[in-house]
Amino acid sequence: MLRTASLLRQHAQAIWQAAVAAVDPFLLVRDFLMYPPPELAKTLAGPGHILVVGGGKAGAAMAAGVEAALVGSLDRLSGVVNVPMESVRPLRVLRLHAARPAGSNQPTAEGVAGVQAMLDLVAKAGPHDVGLCLLSGGGSALLPAPVAGITLQDKQHVTALLHACGATINEMNCVRKHLSAIKGGRLAQAFGARPLFSLIISDVIGDPLDVIASGPTAPDPTTFADALAILDRYGLRKKVPPSVLAHLERGRAGGFPETPKTLPPSVHNLVLGNNSRALDAAQGQAEKWGYTVLNLGSYIEGETRHAAVVLAGIARSIRADGRPLRPPVCLLSGGETTVTLGPSPGRGGRNQEWVLSAAAYLGAAGLRNMVVLSGGTDGEDGPTDAAGALADESTLTRAATMGLDPAAYLERHDAYSFFEATGDLLKTGLTQTNVMDVRVVLIGP
């Protein structure tokens, strides 16, 4: 008979895996295209070619799903999809372009070359051709196309500055869109009036089409003035490259066209998978095992350590007072928090920091008969090889034996080193999907 603590750990990991399995990009795309809505079905049955472009962490699996669904039309199919290097593999017709080296979230020259190949493909399109654009998390970095006068290094520097100061994904994408030749609806513009269907796996809270992968096929409500306001908000005007500041200021003054605020009705954006779908699957798995589920939804954001303490406080109330529910309870949440780094940060990511913050708040006694897990559904958490971490009473007991102080590791944002020592890292490898984070807290009876 398994000890309760061991069973809780197994359940927590299985519930998280159920969430990831529910947003499998291959199955989402294959099943959608095998039974498409009437307008798409009619378009795909037309005489033209089917041009496939796009990028993201789920791009390889999405492209394979396209080929599986349209196996009878492979002679009409062609395209390029930018993906991480570790996701590249041969497909029947479509080409997966390595646009990012392993372990990096920065745009690269290889990514720029892949985008140019997509634009060349679109430029040669015939009047009866149709476009399929595959977009998923990581698309912003994997689809770099700096505007004239801005170098790739300029964009890399701006991205790093925004990330380090704790800017939200919406803020980062606003700035990137106004430095890009395809983001913010400009890829859709390149297709002209031809039918374009974007199949999307969302990694952004609320699934805003203009933010996912920086919205290459969606109207953009943000402006050059908004991008400059973000730099001001974080005190970055004097830190960004002069070329970036000059471009944004000239754009605000009307020297460059704004990103499109409307697009033709021939452009269709379709969200196939998101964090909410993943949480629903996690809830279903937990309920099969007899847990009462409190699903807090996909809108959890803000500073990681603060969000972790709030959710840990709910778990503490459940355990101590049976409020708002009596154990056994599975507490689920999604979304994406941020970590504001200090001057000399250690190793880790927001999910590892979330677990360490919750564990430090609860303490060993508070974690008794409880397990806390947080993981990025893409299998990556910050610049590490872990998806996240999990902790229970034994985690802090081992840490105390080794003389590890959770508060000290939190202070220097070094959660990876802490959980590496205790053996509690959640390592899954790349999952080929990305719908933000899923957190599982189990409170035993």
What tens digit of pLDDT does each residue of 52-86 get? 999 999 999 999 999 999 999 999 999 999 999 98
Rounded-to-integer distance, Cα 57 and Cα 391, Å: 27
pLDDT at 7 exceeding the cut of 80? yes
- What's the pLDDT band for 2 if we cut at 50, 70, 90? very low
pLDDT reading at 417 higher than 70: yes
Structure tokens at 18: 């159920």
267-273, strands of its sheet edge to edge: 95-100, 77-84, 50-55, 130-135, 196-201, 267-273
Q: What is the mean pLDDT of residues 243-250?
A: 96
What pLDDT sits at residue 166? 83
**CB contact set of 393 (below 8 Å; sequence gap of 6+):** 5, 364, 365, 367, 368, 369, 370
Is beta strand 370-376 parallel, antiparallel or unpaired with respect to 437-443? antiparallel
Superfamily of domain 24-145+180-223+258-273 in CATH is Glycerate kinase, MOFRL-like N-terminal domain (3.40.50.10180)
Query: What pLDDT does residue 4 have?
Result: 65
Supply the pLDDT for residue 402: 97
Distance between alpha carbon 428 and the CA centroid of its chain, in Å? 16
Q: At what angle do helices 25-34 and 59-69 cross, to 10 degrees?
A: 30
Helix (H) or strand (E) holding 197: strand 196-201
Helices (H), 165-214: 169-177, 186-190
Residue 300 above 80 pLDDT?
yes
CB of 331 closer than 8 Å to CB of 286? no
Question: Hunting for tokens 């409170």 — which residue is that?
Answer: 443
pLDDT tops 80 at residue 311? yes
- Band (pLDDT 50/70/90 cuts) for residue 124 is very high
Q: Where are the domains of the chain?
A: 4-18+276-443, 24-145+180-223+258-273
Nearest Cα neighbor of 43 from 173, 154, 130, 140 is 130
Q: Looking at residue 164, what is its pLDDT? A: 87
Mean pLDDT across the chain, nearest whole number? 94
Q: For 257-275, what is each residue's pLDDT tens digit? A: 999 999 999 999 999 999 9
Query: What is the rounded average pLDDT of the residues 394-416?
Result: 96
State how far the Cα of 176 lies from the Cα of 184, in Å rounded to an integer: 9
**pTM of the shown model:** 0.89
pLDDT higher than threshold 80 for residue 3: no
| Strand, coil or helix: 401 | helix
What does the pLDDT average to over 160-176? 87
> Is the pLDDT reported for residue 322 higher than 80?
yes
Question: What is residue 102's predicted lDDT score, i.e. its pLDDT?
Answer: 58
Q: What does the buried/exposed string (b/e) look like for 226-251 if buried means 16 or more CB atoms within 10 Å of the residue's CB?
A: bbbebbeeeebeeebbeebbebbeeb
Instruction: Kindly state the DSSP code that residue 432 receives in the 8-state scheme.
Output: S
Tell me yes or no: is domain 4-18+276-443 CATH 3.40.50.300: no
- The radius of gyration of the chain's CA atoms, rounded to the nearest angstrom, is 23
Task: Tell me what the mean pLDDT of segment 3-14 comes to.
Answer: 87
